[in-house]
Amino acid sequence: MRPIPITKLAAGLHVALVMAAVYYALRINNHAALSDISIRDFSVMSSMALLPVLSASIGLWLARGDAAHWVLAIGQTVALLAFAVTFGVVLDSVEPMAPLLLLLVSLWLAVGLALLLLIVWIVSRYSRS
């Protein structure tokens, strides 16, 4: 499989996982109807889905060459796996504040994805012929 479809697939799966996490945190964990949740809470949780989309689109724009595309694909996949593991930990936890771990991991993923974009740019810059 080529790196560009892997990047898009990882970003898409990450967004789907974020939406499942938002539904779990706001509906199932809080036992509240979605219509009863404030728009601010819903917006903060849903904004986690912007991270992989922005990272993939900016990374695909920055990446020049096969090496940079592979670095981006691997980075997006690692971010997806980190969020999936965190979501699994939150699902297994009985702690009522466990969904906040999703926000904490998303903040760290934002830093990691920004570093990924920097690495993709550096690899693109130095791997050009």
Residue 29 pLDDT class (50, 70, 90 cuts): low
pTM attached to this predicted model: 0.86
Residue 95 CB neighbour total at 10 angstroms: 9
- Give the pLDDT confidence of 69-127 residue by residue, as tens digits: 999 999 999 999 999 999 999 888 888 788 888 889 989 999 999 999 999 999 999 88
Residue boundaries of the structural domains of the chain: 3-126
- Give the pLDDT confidence of 40-61 residue by residue, as tens digits: 877 877 788 898 999 999 999 9
**pLDDT for position 129:** 46
CA distance 53 to 62: 14
User: H or E stretch including 24?
Assistant: none
Q: Is 29 helix (H, G, I), strand (E, B) or coil?
A: coil
Non-local CB neighbours of 18 within 8 Å, separated by 6+ positions: 46, 48, 49, 52, 83, 106
